[in-house]
Structure 1
Amino acid sequence: MVYHYGVNESSNGFLVSRPFGRQEVTGPPPRSNGTMAGIIRRGRLRCGVGVSSSVPAVEKQQELADGLVGLQGMDVEFCKAVASGLLGSSETLEVVKVANDTKGFSLLQDGQIDILAGAPWNIETEVRELTTGVGFSFSQPYFYITTVVDIVGSNMLSNRCLATRQSDHEWATVVKWIVEAIIFAEENGITKETSNKMPAVSLYGIELSRIFRDAVNDVGDYADIWNRTVPETIPRQGRNLLFDGANPSPLIPIIPGLLEY
């Protein structure tokens, strides 16, 4: 008997980490003229985050200790993971507030920010984003909007990713794999307290071999981030679940941004 399941059904869990491969290989340090080396010299990671969102679960505002209104939510948490992985502490994160995705992509292309968090990944933004005329690189989505019809009156799929410039593949891979690491941690039951169980990978040089361990040590695994940022009134379900092969659930998702049938 042959069973047919829609590969893009909203009930399928889409979160899954990719294999880390040979972890014993040692690579060269970051390119001296690359984004990653520039961030290390600066000692700060500049992350663009939208000041408003149609999805409250992703970007909640909360009063910080210094009296400023800061952005709290999944976008910031994943930026913290990158800052901690690369620089050893989320205190090195500089959040740059952007009014919308259009402004964020412009700042990213101009080099005024290193990452745009909460960026939508679709064919347009990867190939030729309209305001900048260039495409961008994206991590895998860390948040899927499964009720878009209730939010924007459309059945268009939507997601949130970390975006980087396509001109720096080295930096794009670092950001992509840190997002993968946070999901890998949940898949394997690794928490802040057991972050040393994360793979030690020296492909970006010996000095960055703890990049995944330091990221998880600061923000925890995906479930930790979800529980800190998403209100209890919004259940974790559908695409925002880990892919576990249940139902069975095929892992052949379409490129984000196409219409759901």
Structure 2
Amino acid sequence: MDILVNESLKAYIDPLTPEEHEALEQSILAEGCRDALVLWGNVLVDGHNRYGICREHGLPFQTVQNTRFQSMDDVHLWMIDQHLGRRSVSDFQRGVLALRKREILAERRALVEQARAQAEAAPPAEAAGTGGDGAPPWSEDDAHAAPAFDSREALAKAARLSSNQVGLIEKIQKQATPEVVAAVKSGTISINAAAAVATLPAEEQRAAAMAGGDELKQAAKRARESKRKPREPKPAKEHEGADAADATQTGELQALRQRVAELTAENDALRQQIAELQAASA
């Protein structure tokens, strides 16, 4: 049987690093291909690296059929579960895979709900039919796994991450440029730093990624600092306020006293003038 390599399936999981591929090749050359390749019909599902190495060196290998696959989504879910359980997968990769699984399960559940609603709305004669074309290639029970990924906590548990890490990975997927994503995949920067850089304009992200790890770290620092609220001015101390109020009252009191003194002097002068006029007329 000719094995068919589906390029989209091959690229669905991040490829091995050169060092990892070399280690696998040395292992196969020394001990042979111990694990069977997994097929869906003639499509290769698992074992792309082993298949390539065996073909290159003319080494024999075994294959096994997975008869439970009914759709490409089934294949993707199986691949995700296989890699979520592997220690060599990084935290970022596990988060991305878990988010992919949540998306697939949510879409599957939505289709099941849609099919159920259509069946309930159909006339009795149609609802009692045999199902017909367009029915999803899975049962309603299969879609019940979807609610397990409804919460971020459940998703984080499946990926062996914290809820905060899952949130950061979601932000990176939505906002980061491909260059920043490549940097976090390679381990050049941390998930936390990549999430901070992802908040910057796309051109600034690309420029930082092209400049290397140090510039990415500086970009992350700038992004964090830009989000910090400016410090509010310290409120005046109570005694300072009291002193100011006292000073104001003292000034007003002095002005009133001065005005009273002026009016008193004017009154005295008028009395003196009146007394002089009375004396002159006597």
TM bin (shorter chain): under 0.3
Please tell me whether Structure 1 or Structure 2 has the larger radius of gyration of its CA atoms.
Answer: 2
Q: Normalising by structure 1, report the TM-score.
A: 0.25
Q: Normalising by structure 2, report the TM-score.
A: 0.23
Higher relative contact order (CA 8 A, sep 6+): 1
Q: Give the structure with the larger strand fraction.
A: 1
